[in-house]
């Protein structure tokens, strides 16, 4: 009996259905060729090591187009490279693996590398030998003149530092992952050598791949993704024009349709601070009659408001200051002739909205209470045609223990659908470029693991174009869209809706001919992404 149980556990751990990518340390897709983007992305080298980013002429698919090239130069007898992270990552040494691709030429004599994970045991956001742990593992490399995929169980790492608590506790509550480091062991310091690395990541079980090591894991035959969009026509409440205009980009030779039309409804427009913005029953019904599913984001703030006017917060919602507004809202929605997707208190794990946890005493319980309060008003008004969406941002800002998304989950009885917003390039200035997979996979893993029975929607997604001041060798928006398509149809195949945020300048789908063509080829004409609402409506029945 024990033997059978052991075999079952062994098979389960290696089952591709149970194995899952959970966090990408670095895929190098956001880097320009050379060294210009290393510092901005937290990549560093030390000792006799020089690092550059290069492109692979034969596209490597799962690991992307770009990789890190390592050269040993100089007379120092030590060297390596690493990446600063300073992030909460929930790693479980009993089931999780560290994975990476590596290329070592036959001429190298350094066939052992030391891998190091530094954690933060005393919560001061820096590594100190006296207070923090350093988890290490020695990995031998084969001189194959070919790429290898290395997968190492985290339970093989040992504590290489006397400081810290001696417990592998890199998680959302006990310690940040500060730094990932690779050091080269036992090489002739007078001999010039080189290596290449790519797609450093953590996974539950061994990294799932397809038939070859560079093939992305396959989706199942039943997997699909529906399409949605938001655009500026929402600002004048011309909801049907969102669909018409977006579809016109691609439908010269196709009759494919969007499934979901997204629009925002705040408490008030045009600088007012009296809540008076209610959904138009007539225009929502028109959407439904034309075959679309409306998704409304109810924003509990005043748009273009006077800065002297205090915005609502979670306390004011919980204390009932806006109950009369929510009651009228509920009565309007009740009159709609069809189902409404309603997203409330979205991106709560950021710091840019008045309802964000960061702006409400850093207390996730307030988010739960406010979400439930709004939900209960709709229930009291006997509104039965609403499906509530709970939607965090893809990354928590700031990275603090109190900002873990699942601590703000209202409960299964209050949440019908789970959302996630994934952007490349949101924020001020020229934000660091991140691939769709790198930006979204961490919270995708959390949501699909902890809420497996809740359909997952990407309620907002978009990418910026490369700025004119950035290197032309860097990844383009078109390539980002291509890689988004690959991610959604492979290791993010549980996503059932992507809604493009078709903002008028930075994120619009036609900011370049290349971007528009990429969306057409890799999304619109791709049979994995379904037309209309046929596939999405069955998920709403429960």
Evaluated on CA atoms 375, 377, 379, 382, the torsion sign reads negative
Q: Compute how many other C-beta atoms are within 10 angstroms of the C-beta atom of residue 384.
A: 9
pLDDT bucket at 93, cuts 50 / 70 / 90: very high
CA distances to 234, 276, 322, 344, 365 from 284, in Å: 12, 18, 23, 18, 33
pTM of the model: 0.93
Residues facing 229 on adjacent strands? 261, 500
Identity of the highest mean pLDDT range in 72-86, 256-270, 502-516: 502-516
Q: What pLDDT digit, counting tens, does each position of 297-318 carry?
A: 998 776 766 666 677 899 999 9
Neighbour tally for 344: CB within 10 Å: 24
What phi and psi values does residue 526 have, to the nearest 5 degrees?
A: -85, 125
Residue 393 DSSP code: B
Q: Do 445 and 485 meet the contact criterion of CB atoms below 8 Å apart?
A: no
Reported as a pLDDT band with limits 50, 70 and 90, residue 9 is very low
pLDDT for position 144:
77
Inform me whether the pLDDT recorded for 6 exceeds 60.
Answer: no
| Angle subtended at Cα 196 by Cα 194 and Cα 200, rounded to the nearest 5 degrees | 145
> Looking at 112-121, 247-256, 472-481, which range is the least confident one?
247-256
What is the average per-residue pLDDT within 417-435?
91
Instruction: Judge whether 334 and 385 are in contact, CB under 8 Å.
Output: yes
pLDDT of residue 11: 39
User: Would you say residue 486 has pLDDT above 50?
Assistant: yes
Q: Is the pLDDT of residue 530 over 80?
A: yes
Q: Is the Cβ–Cβ distance between 95 and 188 less than 8 Å?
A: no
Helix axes of 436-450 and 477-488: crossing angle, nearest 10 degrees: 20
The CA angle 494-498-504, to the nearest 5 degrees, is 160
> Per residue in 119-178, pLDDT tens?
998 888 889 888 999 999 999 988 778 899 999 999 999 998 888 899 999 999 888 999
Q: Could you read off the pLDDT of 320-359 as tens digits, one per residue? A: 998 988 999 999 999 999 999 999 999 999 999 999 999 9
520 and 478 in contact (C-beta within 8 Å)? no
| Residue 472's pLDDT band (cuts 50, 70, 90) | confident
Q: How far apart are the first and last CA of the chain?
A: 39
What is the predicted pLDDT for the residue at 191? 67
Give residue for tokens 């991140």: 434
Give the contacts of 263 (CB within 8 A, at least 6 positions apart): 230, 234, 237, 239, 242, 294, 295, 296, 297
Per residue in 33-46, pLDDT (tens digit) is 889 889 989 999 99
* pLDDT top residue among 365 and 190: 365
* Predicted pLDDT of residue 542: 64
Range with the poorest average pLDDT among 150-154, 205-209, 407-411, 470-474? 470-474
Q: What pLDDT is recorded for position 190?
A: 53
Greatest mean pLDDT range, 237-241, 263-267, 430-434 = 430-434
Measured on CA atoms in the order 205, 206, 211, 214, is the torsion positive or negative? positive
Q: What integer best gives the mean pLDDT of the chain?
A: 89
8 Å CB contact between 508 and 69: no
Distance CA 287, CA 108 (A): 64
Q: What average pLDDT score do residues 64-85 get?
A: 89
Domains of the chain: 19-204 (2.60.120.430), 259-540 (3.20.20.80)
DSSP state of 523: I
């Amino acid at each position: 009996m024990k033997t059978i149980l052991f075999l079952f556990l062994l098979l389960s751990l290696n089952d591709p259905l149970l194995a899952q990518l959970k966090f990408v340390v670095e895929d190098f897709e956001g880097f320009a060729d050379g060294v210009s983007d290393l510092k901005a992305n937290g990549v560093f080298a030390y000792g006799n090591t020089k690092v550059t980013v290069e492109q692979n002429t034969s596209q490597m698919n799962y690991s992307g187009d770009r990789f890190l090239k390592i050269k040993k130069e100089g007379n120092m007898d030590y060297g390596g490279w690493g990446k600063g992270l300073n992030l909460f990552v929930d790693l479980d040494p009993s089931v999780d693996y560290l994975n990476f691709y590596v290329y070592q030429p036959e001429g190298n004599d350094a066939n052992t590398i030391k891998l190091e994970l530094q954690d933060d045991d005393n919560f001061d956001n820096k590594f100190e030998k006296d207070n923090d742990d350093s988890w290490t593992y020695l990995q031998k490399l084969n001189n194959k003149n070919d790429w290898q995929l290395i997968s190492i169980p985290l339970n093989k790492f040992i504590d290489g530092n006397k400081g810290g608590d001696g417990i592998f506790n890199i998680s959302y509550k006990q310690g940040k992952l500060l730094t990932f480091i690779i050091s080269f062991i036992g090489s002739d310091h007078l001999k010039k050598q080189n290596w290449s690395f790519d797609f450093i990541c953590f996974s539950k079980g061994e990294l799932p791949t397809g038939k070859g090591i560079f093939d992305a894991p396959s989706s199942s035959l039943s997997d699909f993704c529906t399409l949605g969009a938001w655009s500026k026509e929402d600002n004048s409440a011309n909801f049907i024009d969102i669909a018409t205009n977006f579809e016109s980009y691609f439908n010269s030779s196709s009759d494919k349709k969007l499934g979901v039309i997204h629009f925002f409804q705040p408490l008030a427009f045009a600088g007012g601070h009296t809540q008076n913005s209610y959904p138009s029953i007539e225009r929502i019904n028109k959407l439904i009659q034309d075959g679309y599913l409306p998704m409304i984001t109810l924003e509990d703030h005043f748009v273009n408001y006077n800065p002297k006017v205090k915005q609502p917060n979670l306390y004011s919602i919980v204390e009932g200051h806006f109950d009369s507004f929510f009651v009228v809202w509920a009565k309007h929605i009740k009159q709609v002739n069809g189902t409404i997707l309603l997203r409330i208190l979205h991106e709560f794990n950021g710091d840019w909205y008045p309802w964000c946890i960061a702006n409400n005493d850093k207390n996730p319980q307030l988010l739960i209470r406010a979400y439930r309060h709004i939900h209960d008003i709709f229930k009291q008004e006997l509104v039965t045609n609403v499906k509530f969406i709970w939607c965090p941002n893809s990354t928590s800002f700031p990275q603090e223990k109190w900002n873990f998304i699942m601590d703000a989950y209202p409960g299964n009885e209050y949440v019908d659908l789970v959302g996630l917003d994934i952007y490349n390039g949101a924020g001020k200035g020229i934000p660091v470029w991140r691939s769709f997979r790198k930006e979204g996979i961490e919270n995708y893993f959390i949501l699909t693991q902890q809420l497996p029975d809740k359909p997952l929607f990407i309620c907002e997604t978009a990418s910026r174009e490369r700025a004119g001041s950035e290197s032309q060798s860097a990844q383009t928006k078109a390539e980002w869209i291509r890689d988004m398509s690959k991610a959604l149809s492979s290791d993010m195949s549980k996503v059932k809706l992507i809604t493009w945020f078709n903002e008028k300048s930075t994120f619009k789908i036609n900011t370049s001919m290349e971007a528009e063509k990429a969306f057409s080829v890799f999304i619109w004409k791709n049979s994995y992404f379904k037309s209309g609402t046929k596939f999405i409506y069955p998920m709403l029945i429960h």
